[in-house]
């Protein structure tokens, strides 16, 4: 490694649904964080690491900055966002091309000094009039003078190298913090829980909004395979049949699809059992959240 090597933390922030997870995955090149059509599916802080010849980017994918609901869960989520931004070297604020709402504006006061911030204007592939982009960006720059503005399409892999270049310039000079092949510093069981949660959101997300979480209760792994038991904790008795589906159909599909993903990740056969537990009102009690692994 040369003296010119740069390494630092990068936070990707933005209101729900702007494409933060898609962007992180596209940049790191591996599916680690959750991508879903539902807003607000990323509750955890997830790190993905990208190592190039001259720099290492450590991405922190923060949860969406919640503005819609009150309650302990949201206070905690907002605290996670604030903390993530204070800790990192570069903040990429993701917005959706042509759209600016209160949710976007509420993040601005949380951003660090402008020279550490980059505006990524995502979903430019959906823009009909590219000319409108200039006026749109000017309006945002008047509110916060970002050090750089990069129009991108996370889904279509457009301009991501330009974005990486802008981030790289702003990383501090320093040695790599992770081995070159590190994709995440999260343990496998955390990623497994995330994969199960992703299946739940994809299948029953509309009916079961934010009141569920996944806890890995058993993890026995040998060279030959892994036996995993996971528990889906829901908030109400009425959530149980939604999750089960007719004849347990939903649950079977969730478990099968998650098992396949986990087996691919571990590169060995996986036996996965998924249970459901009801724990009333958990999402609004900080102590319950802590028990379940949310700090
Ligand atoms: N057309 C288009 N769609 C995109 C692009 N990037 C993301 N999307 C879509 O936008 C939706 C939301 O993307 P996510 O990556 O889940 O958004 P997020 O900001 O992480 O959302 P939360 O986890 O809810 O905060 C998904 O349906 C993506 O496929 C893009 O560049 N172009």
The pLDDT tens digits of the residues spanning 164-178 come to 999 999 999 998 877
Claim to verify: residue 112 and residue 230 sit in the same structural domain:
no
Write the CB contacts of 109 (distance below 8 Å, at least 6 apart in sequence).
none
Looking at residue 42, its pLDDT comes to: 38
Q: Is 125 in the pocket of ligand 1 (CB under 6 A)?
A: yes
Tens digit of each residue's pLDDT (9 = 90 or more) over 64-94: 454 555 566 666 666 766 766 877 899 999 9
Lowest mean pLDDT among 42-56, 58-72, 125-139: 58-72
Q: Ligand 1 centre and the CA of 3: distance in Å?
A: 37
- Residue with CA nearest ligand 1 atom 1: 123
Considering the domain architecture, whether residues 22 and 162 belong to the same structural domain is answered as yes
Helices 160-169, 20-28: inter-axial angle, 10-degree rounding: 80
Same domain (yes/no): 157, 229: no
Q: Does 283 fall in a domain? A: yes
Q: Are strands 117-122 and 148-151 parallel, antiparallel or unpaired?
A: parallel
> What are the tens digits of pLDDT across the range 227-251?
999 999 888 888 888 888 888 899 9
Q: How far is residue 223 from each of residues 75, 262, 270, measured CA to CA in Å?
A: 42, 15, 11
The pTM of the full predicted model, rounded to 2 decimals, is 0.63
d(CA 260, CA 39): 25
**How much is the average pLDDT of 97-112?**
89
Calculate how far, in angstroms, residue 123's C-alpha sits from the geometric centre of ligand 1: 8
| Domain-embedded: residue 180 | no
- Top mutation candidate among 11, 16, 19 for ligand 1, by most atoms within 8 Å of CB: 19
Which residues does the annotation place in the binding site for GTP? 14-21, 61-65, 122-125
For 114, the domain range is: 6-169
Per-residue pLDDT tens digits for 5-38 = 998 889 888 888 899 888 988 888 654 443 333 3
Q: Are residues 59 and 141 in the same domain?
A: yes
Does 64 share its domain with 208? Answer: no
176 found inside a domain: no
Ligand 1 pocket, 15 CB below 6 A? no
Same domain? 114 vs 149: yes
Closest Cα to atom 2 of ligand 1: 123
Question: What is the number of structural domains in the chain?
Answer: 2
Q: How large is the average pLDDT for residues 192-213?
A: 77
ipTM of model: 0.97
C-alpha 89/C-alpha 122 separation (Å) is 21
Centre of ligand 1 to C-alpha 18, Å, is: 5
Least confident of 19-33, 137-151, 264-278: 19-33
Same domain, 142 and 235: no
Instruction: Residue 17: give its domain's CATH number.
Output: 3.40.50.300
Q: Residue 174: inside a domain, yes or no?
A: no
In this structure, the answer to whether residues 26 and 134 fall within a common structural domain is yes
What is the whole-number distance in angstroms between the Cα of residue 155 and the centre of ligand 1?
8
User: CATH code at 207?
Assistant: 3.30.300.20
User: Percentage of residues in the chain with pLDDT exceeding 70?
Assistant: 75
For 260-273, what is the mean pLDDT? 89
**Pairwise CA distance, residues 250 & 62, whole Å:** 29
Q: Are 214 and 230 in contact (CB under 8 A)?
A: yes
Instruction: Confirm whether 111 is domain-assigned.
Output: yes
């Amino acid at each position: 490694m040369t003296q010119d090597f740069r390494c630092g933390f990068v936070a990707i922030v933005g209101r729900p649904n702007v494409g933060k997870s898609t962007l992180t995955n596209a940049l790191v090149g591996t599916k680690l964080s959750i991508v879903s059509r539902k807003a607000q599916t990323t509750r955890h802080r997830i790190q993905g690491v990208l190592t190039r010849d001259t720099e290492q980017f450590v991405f922190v994918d923060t949860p969406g900055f919640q503005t819609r609901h009150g309650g302990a869960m949201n206070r905690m989520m907002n605290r996670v966002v604030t903390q993530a931004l204070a800790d990192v070297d570069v903040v990429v604020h993701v917005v959706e091309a042509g759209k600016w709402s209160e949710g976007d504006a509420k993040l601005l006061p949380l951003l660090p000094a402008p020279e550490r911030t980059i505006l990524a204007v995502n979903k430019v592939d959906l823009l009909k009039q590219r000319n409108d982009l200039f006026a749109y960006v000017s309006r945002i720059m008047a509110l916060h003078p970002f050090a750089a503005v990069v129009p991108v399409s996370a889904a279509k892999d457009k301009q991501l190298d330009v974005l990486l270049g802008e981030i790289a310039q702003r990383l501090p000079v320093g040695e790599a913090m992770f081995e070159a092949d590190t994709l995440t510093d999260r343990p496998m069981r955390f990623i497994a829980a995330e994969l199960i949660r992703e299946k739940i959101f994809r299948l029953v997300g509309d009916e079961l909004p934010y009141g569920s979480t996944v806890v890995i209760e058993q993890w026995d792994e040998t060279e030959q395979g892994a036996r995993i038991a996971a528990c889906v904790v829901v908030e109400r008795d009425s959530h149980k049949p939604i999750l089960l589906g007719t004849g347990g159909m939903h649950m079977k599909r969730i478990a099968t699809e998650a098992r396949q993903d986990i087996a691919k990740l571990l590169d060995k056969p996986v036996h996965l059992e998924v249970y459901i537990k009801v724990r009333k009102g958990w999402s609004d009690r900080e102590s319950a959240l802590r028990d379940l692994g949310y700090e």
